[in-house]
């Protein structure tokens, strides 16, 4: 492909600090490295400015200010004329989307499931070790070219050949994460640009040739300016390989509270590349707690009481559906994290009934599709959507009666108590997830739920908030630092007892202890723990030598 960039000049001061072998080189070639360096130099400065803006906004919220719709973009919200892009090939009907990490087994299983799309995850259900990131790219590269089949022992993993495979959508890491193993001018590249760039350069044309396109999920954005940055990345990328602008699609996860106030603006920024919005429900709860953690009016009860029907969640869902359908793009629902309970029929039936009820709520509300974490749930979700959504999507359900005010989005009237059981549950889930993550596993089954990073984030943020505000428990105790640390110690010991040797519970507990006492608070757990799973001690390989 002709590009205006000379490799020799562009690759000066570009280094790779991760292990390189023939597999790595297949997805991280010299040409890919040139493209990544171009992306970094064009966009990393803006990325860092946008992260600064998040800090500035946080300082405002810490003073007790609230959020509101932006006055400077009123003309965009009130303008009825503009629309998002029409659904791209393979994305017209996306009623059931399976999500999961990109290890080879999962890729094959996901593509063989009875779903319409597969969100291949480089983000929250993946621990970002170098091996995971690179092998994930390799697995998708091979899956796209139908050369992903493999054998493990006696078991064969083969892609189905009896039908069109689900449309692939890759979720890149959020703007806050960096990829330490690839540096440009001495700086680590952004995780977003690394994941986006490798997948795009290697596969965009191949995907188009095979009838779909380079499609992405875009996580954790906090403002429309961050969406504008993505849109500029898309334009540069398409120009770079001579692809028509508007071929890429991005579905944005609305999973932070500031983004909920900028839904229209986010679709507007991505306009020709927009494939809608999605309700990232667990991260959304995390974000509400995080952003308003200093404000005692935002203290929430036990996690089990924070359901999809409490006022602030209900308002968010309705506004998302209304906004998307007014702009002619998909309004995707949330995750059913349940996994089958194989040895308890009754418990299993109850769990599946909950899934069914949740999906029924979504399809009736007007969602165009929904997420499942396990192939076994795809059938249940599909039954519900097939029955209640005879059309490929429900853009025609406009929800014009919905009126959502800032007060609705911030209505923290959530009935429920804070109990010792709720505290212990949060500790268990947080520790359980972090323990797996520290071993390089980002998708961890805990109590028959497939948990990702959002789970641990909600848990530690609730504990932090409860300690900070010294809340009374239903049992009549006050949650303070000492009590929290005591319970943490007890739960970590308990979990360690039944875990195999070499487990990471003590390490998880050490980190968790810094996050639950109402004092220090890391913006993201994944950033806090990242150094534990990365090793950049080896001498760098200049990208020129690839």
Ligand X SMILES: *[C@@H]1O[C@H](CO)[C@@H](O)[C@H](O)[C@H]1NC(C)=O
Tracing tokens 């334009």 back to the chain, one arrives at: 235
Of 9, 63, 75, 342, the one binding ligand X by CB under 6 A: 75
**21 to 40: interface string for ligand X, x by CB under 6 A:** -x------------------
3-state secondary structure of 5: coil
Considering the rule CB under 6 A, would residue 72 count as an interface residue with ligand X?
no
With residue 335 as reference, give the H or E element that holds it: strand 331-336
d(CA 195, CA 77): 31
3-state secondary structure 426-457: HHHHHHHHHHHHHCCCCCEEECCEEECHHHHH
**Which range binds ligand X by CB under 6 A, 73-81, 214-222, 364-372, 417-425?**
73-81
Q: Which of 121, 302, 358, 452 is catalytic?
A: 452
d(CA 317, CA 13): 46
**Which range binds ligand X by CB under 6 A, 63-71, 76-84, 380-388, 414-422?**
76-84
Closer residue to ligand X in complex, CB, 84/369: 84
Considering the rule CB under 6 A, would residue 490 count as an interface residue with ligand X?
no
d(CA 456, CA 197): 28
Q: How far is the CB of 262 from ligand X (least distance, A)?
A: 17
**Which range binds ligand X by CB under 6 A, 74-82, 88-96, 345-353, 428-436?**
74-82
Considering the rule CB under 6 A, would residue 79 count as an interface residue with ligand X?
yes
d(CA 140, CA 166): 13
Residues 6+ apart with CB under 8 A from 430: 455, 456, 459, 460, 463, 508, 512, 516
Q: How far is the CB of 31 from ligand X (least distance, A)?
A: 17
Q: Which of 64, 11, 71 is nearest to 35 (CA)?
A: 11
Residues 6+ apart with CB under 8 A from 195: 122, 133, 137, 170, 172, 173, 179
Asked if 228 and 262 count as a contact pair (C-beta separation under 8 A), the reply is no
Closer residue to ligand X in complex, CB, 75/244: 75
Total residues contacting ligand X by CB under 6 A comes to 5
Closer residue to ligand X in complex, CB, 25/158: 25
Q: How far is the CB of 100 from ligand X (least distance, A)?
A: 29
d(CA 156, CA 170): 25
For the beta carbon of residue 93, count every other beta carbon within 10 angstroms. Answer: 18
Q: How far is the CB of 104 from ligand X (least distance, A)?
A: 18
Closer residue to ligand X in complex, CB, 24/247: 24
Q: Which of 104, 171, 281, 293 is catalytic?
A: 171
d(CA 544, CA 14): 8
d(CA 444, CA 316): 27
Closer residue to ligand X in complex, CB, 139/461: 139
Q: How far is the CB of 24 from ligand X (least distance, A)?
A: 11
Q: Phi and psi for 348 in degrees, rounded to 5?
A: -65, -45
452 belongs to the catalytic site: yes
Considering the rule CB under 6 A, would residue 545 count as an interface residue with ligand X?
no
Beta strands per DSSP E along 1-149: 14-16, 96-101, 117-121
Closer residue to ligand X in complex, CB, 32/288: 32
The end-to-end CA distance of the chain, in Å, is 18
Q: How far is the CB of 83 from ligand X (least distance, A)?
A: 9
Q: How far is the CB of 246 from ligand X (least distance, A)?
A: 15
Closer residue to ligand X in complex, CB, 79/506: 79
d(CA 5, CA 543): 15
Closer residue to ligand X in complex, CB, 21/343: 21
Asked if 266 and 227 count as a contact pair (C-beta separation under 8 A), the reply is yes
Closer residue to ligand X in complex, CB, 81/539: 81
Closer residue to ligand X in complex, CB, 74/478: 74
Q: Phi and psi for 364 in degrees, rounded to 5?
A: -70, -30
Q: Which of 433, 423, 425 is nearest to 511 (CA)?
A: 433
142 belongs to the catalytic site: no
Q: How far is the CB of 271 from ligand X (least distance, A)?
A: 8
Tell me which residues in 294-353 interact with ligand X (CB under 6 A). none
- Alpha carbon 226 to its chain's center: 15
Considering the rule CB under 6 A, would residue 81 count as an interface residue with ligand X?
yes
Residues 6+ apart with CB under 8 A from 147: none
**419 to 458: interface string for ligand X, x by CB under 6 A:** ----------------------------------------
Angle between helices 104-112 and 130-144 (to 10 degrees): 40
3-state secondary structure of 119: strand
Of 82, 245, 403, 514, the one binding ligand X by CB under 6 A: 82
- The catalytic residue positions are 171, 452
Binding site for ligand X (CB under 6 A): 22, 75, 79, 81-82
């Amino acid at each position: 492909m002709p590009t205006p960039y000379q490799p020799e000049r562009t690759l000066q001061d570009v280094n790779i600090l991760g292990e390189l072998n023939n597999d790595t080189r297949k997805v991280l070639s010299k040409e890919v490295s040139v493209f990544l360096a171009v992306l970094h130099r064009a966009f990393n400065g803006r990325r860092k400015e946008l992260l600064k803006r998040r800090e500035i906004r946080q300082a405002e919220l810490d003073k007790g200010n609230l959020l509101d719709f932006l006055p400077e973009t009123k003309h965009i919200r009130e303008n009825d004329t503009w629309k998002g892009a029409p659904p791209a090939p393979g994305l017209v009907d996306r009623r059931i989307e399976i999500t999961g990490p990109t290890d080879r087994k999962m890729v094959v299983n996901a593509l063989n499931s009875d779903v319409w799309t597969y969100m291949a995850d480089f983000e929250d259900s993946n621990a970002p070790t170098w091996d995971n990131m690179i092998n994930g790219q390799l697995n998708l590269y091979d899956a796209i070219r139908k050369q992903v089949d493999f054998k493990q022992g006696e078991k064969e993993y083969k892609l189905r050949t009896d039908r069109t495979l689900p449309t692939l959508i890759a979720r890149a890491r959020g703007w806050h994460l960096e990829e330490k193993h690839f540096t440009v001018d001495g700086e680590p590249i952004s995780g977003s640009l690394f994941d986006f760039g490798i997948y795009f350069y290697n596969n965009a044309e191949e995907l188009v040739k095979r009838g779909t396109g380079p499609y992405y999920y875009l996580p954790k954005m906090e403002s429309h300016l961050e969406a504008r940055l993505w849109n500029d990345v898309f334009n540069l990328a398409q120009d770079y390989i001579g692809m028509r602008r508007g071929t890429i699609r991005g579905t944005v996860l609305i999973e932070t509270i500031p983004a909920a106030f900028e839904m229209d603006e986010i679709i507007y920024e991505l306009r020709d590349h927009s494939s809608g919005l999605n309700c990232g429900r667990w991260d959304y709860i995390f974000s509400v707690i995080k952003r308003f953690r200093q404000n005692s009016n935002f203290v929430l009860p036990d996690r089990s009481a924070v359901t999809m029907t409490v006022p602030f969640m209900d308002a968010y869902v309705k506004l998302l559906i209304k906004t998307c359908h007014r702009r002619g793009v998909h309004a995707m629902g949330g995750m059913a994290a349940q996994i089958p309970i194989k040895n308890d029929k009754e418990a299993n039936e109850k769990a599946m009934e909950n899934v069914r009820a949740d999906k029924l709520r979504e399809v009736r509300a007007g969602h165009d599709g929904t997420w499942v974490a396990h192939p076994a749930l795809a059938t249940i979700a599909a039954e519900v959507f097939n029955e209640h959504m005879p059309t490929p999507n429900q853009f025609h359900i406009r929800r014009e009666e919905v009126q959502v005010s800032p007060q609705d989005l911030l209505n923290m009237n959530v009935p429920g108590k804070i109990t010792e059981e709720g505290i212990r549950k949060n500790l268990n889930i947080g520790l359980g997830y972090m323990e797996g993550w520290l071993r390089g596993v980002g998708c961890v089954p805990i109590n028959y739920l497939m948990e990702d990073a959002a789970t641990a984030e909600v848990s530690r943020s609730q504990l932090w908030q409860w300690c900070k505000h010294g809340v009374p428990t239903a049992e009549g105790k006050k949650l303070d630092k000492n009590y929290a640390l005591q319970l943490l110690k007890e739960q970590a010991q308990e979990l360690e007892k039944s875990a195999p040797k070499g487990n990471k519970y003590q390490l998880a507990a050490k980190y968790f202890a810094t996050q639950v006492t109402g004092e220090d608070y890391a913006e993201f757990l994944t950033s806090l723990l990242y150094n534990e799973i990365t090793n950049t001690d080896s001498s760098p390989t200049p990208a020129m030598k690839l």
